[in-house]
Structure 1
Amino acid sequence: LEQRWSFEVIAHILQMPFKTLYNWLDKGWLDIKREVLPDHGVRYRKSHDGRGQYTRGAKFINQRPDEANLRQEIGHFEVDTILSGKTRGEVLATFTDRKSRLMIIRRLPGRDSKAMTKAILELNEELRGLIKSITSDHGKEFAGFKEIEACGIAHYFAHPYAPHERGTNERLNRELRLHIPKNQPIESVTNEELTMISKYLNWRPRKCLGWKTQLQVFFGDLSEKFD
């Protein structure tokens, strides 16, 4: 608390529900006053998408195999959605291969599980069944993970409040945001522009790839797979 951390941050570090800390405060079990808390300890009721309730029975990232963790083979993707400033409307799904860092962008009609599940399965079909696993956050758009796994794709969820566990995708999403700012509606981005952005992101030599491009690494491994 001396660092002015919120109860949410403290609860995450202690791996406990943050509401428990508020309950302890209300009961007088903590030797602090509300006035010293960030926002004076006011609990804001925020809108949410039921994040977390959709992942009961799911596998977490600590169950992911070394082939994915150590970037030993292509086909293990980190997945996320890119939103505009609106709460409704089109979104972009970004798929980043962990080994090659290749980013594939797909336009979705909305941020819902039906659209995301369809996009994942269609992409896997385009890639001739190449997708071995995906790693995502707990957003509602990934509620269809059981349908995805039934098609032979392992689905792993990162831990809450741990975007670094999907760091490859997060970094490339930031590069994507240089071309599509947060306040720009996705509907205003043409398919031609998305293609150009994708080429720009994937044709850049990367130091982490020995100065090869993502496309070189991905399709180099792909050609070996189907030789």
Structure 2
Amino acid sequence: MTCKHLTPNELVMIEAYFQTKQSVLTVSKILGRSRQTIYNVYNFFKKGFSASDYYKRYKENKTYCGRRPIILSTDQQTYVQKMTAKGWTPDVIIGRAEIPISCSVRTLYRLFKANYFDITKLPMKGKRKPNGHNERRGRQAFKRNISERLTDYTQFNEEFGHLEGDTIVGVHHKSAGITLVERLSKVIITLKPGGHKAADIEKATTAWLQSIPRNMFKSLTFDCGKEFSNWKEMSNSNDISIYFADHGTPSQRGLNENYNGILRRNGLPKKMDFNQVDQNFISAVASKRNHIPRKSLNCRTPLEVFLSYVNEEQLSSLI
């Protein structure tokens, strides 16, 4: 049963009944309150106090109710701020448990929401496109559809070696970078092509694939952008299966799309001219993300998971 406290109007009425010497039983029946409640208020009035005094005391006592706010120690605050600045999320900070944090994941998120920490450091949330948005890009024809992928690789969701790929364009759409994400380990690989056209994307991707052990990666899934129109040559020369997501459905390559947004915020913004940076720079941006633990990897870093499938000698040519 929910407890319903006396309202200011009820207190004024009880005070009026008290002054007219109405009995506790009569007042309790009129207001639908228990006799003990009315009796307690009457005793308060007998001491010379008023209804406003009673309500003021009630409001003061109410401030002591409820759970006390959680305050993290200085060391814990410093650690949380340091890790979020590196790109760690609250669930990873708690789950990784490098140092004990005296609150739950949900409470830590609430502290961010209450501006206890800088909420701008958290990953973006919400829709990036409004309802009813009609994607007009990527109507490439003669492609291998993503629906064929699971037929060709029945263990697709459990095995290592399947990539999702995309490009992130620079300022004025005159330059680009290539992003590739391995689905199982969530490691991201960034490449710098010589330009933003299909031939440039093919050349850079082929050069990278030929620098690593053949057949290390089994498949590549792109969106329907025209920059991947040379996919057949890329597939044949590197012996890798290439598929394309359905038109207007970035969620079919959600991991890659999410990483692209993260890279945009962490060193590769839209206003950047990729012609003015080198491979080492964009690789360094990706390397930072590969060293950040993820909840979906049991709070391990993508690099730690990736190394369980690839030795360090092979890694040097990959990332």
| TM surpasses 0.5 | yes
Correspondences of 1:1-227 after superposition (within 5 Å): 9=134, 51-53=138-140, 55-56=141-142, 58-65=143-150, 66-68=154-156, 70=157, 72-88=158-174, 90-129=175-214, 130-151=216-237, 152-178=239-265, 179-223=267-311
Partners of 2:244 and 2:309 lie apart in 1 by 26
8 Å contact from structure 1 (residues 96, 103) kept in 2: yes
Task: Name the structure, 1 or 2, with higher relative contact order (CA <8 Å, separation 6+).
Answer: 1
Gaps of 5+ in 2: 1-129, 315-319
Q: Give me the CA root mean square deviation.
A: 2.3
Moved more, 138-147 or 160-169: 138-147
SS of 2:155's partner is: helix
Q: Structure 1-normalised TM-score?
A: 0.70
8 Å contact from structure 2 (residues 190, 286) kept in 1: yes
Structure 1's 147 and 195: CA in aligned 2 closer, same or farther, altered over 3 A? closer
**Structure (1/2) with the larger strand percentage:** 1
Structure 1's 124 and 5: CA in aligned 2 closer, same or farther, altered over 3 A? closer
Deviations 1:1-44 (A, max 9, x none): xxx976x74xx9xxxxxxxxxxxxxxxxxxxxxxxxxxxxxxxx
Deviations 1:78-135 (A, max 9, x none): 11001112122x2100011111111110111222221112222222222212121100
SS of 1:221's partner is: coil
Deviations 1:174-194 (A, max 9, x none): 110012221222234344432
Q: How many residues are matched?
A: 177
Partners of 1:119 and 1:109 lie apart in 2 by 7
SS of 2:234's partner is: helix
Q: Structure 2-normalised TM-score?
A: 0.51
* % identical equivalent positions: 29
Partners of 1:128 and 1:210 lie apart in 2 by 28
Partners of 1:74 and 1:149 lie apart in 2 by 18
8 Å contact from structure 1 (residues 148, 154) kept in 2: no
SS of 2:164's partner is: strand
Structure 1's 85 and 206: CA in aligned 2 closer, same or farther, altered over 3 A? same
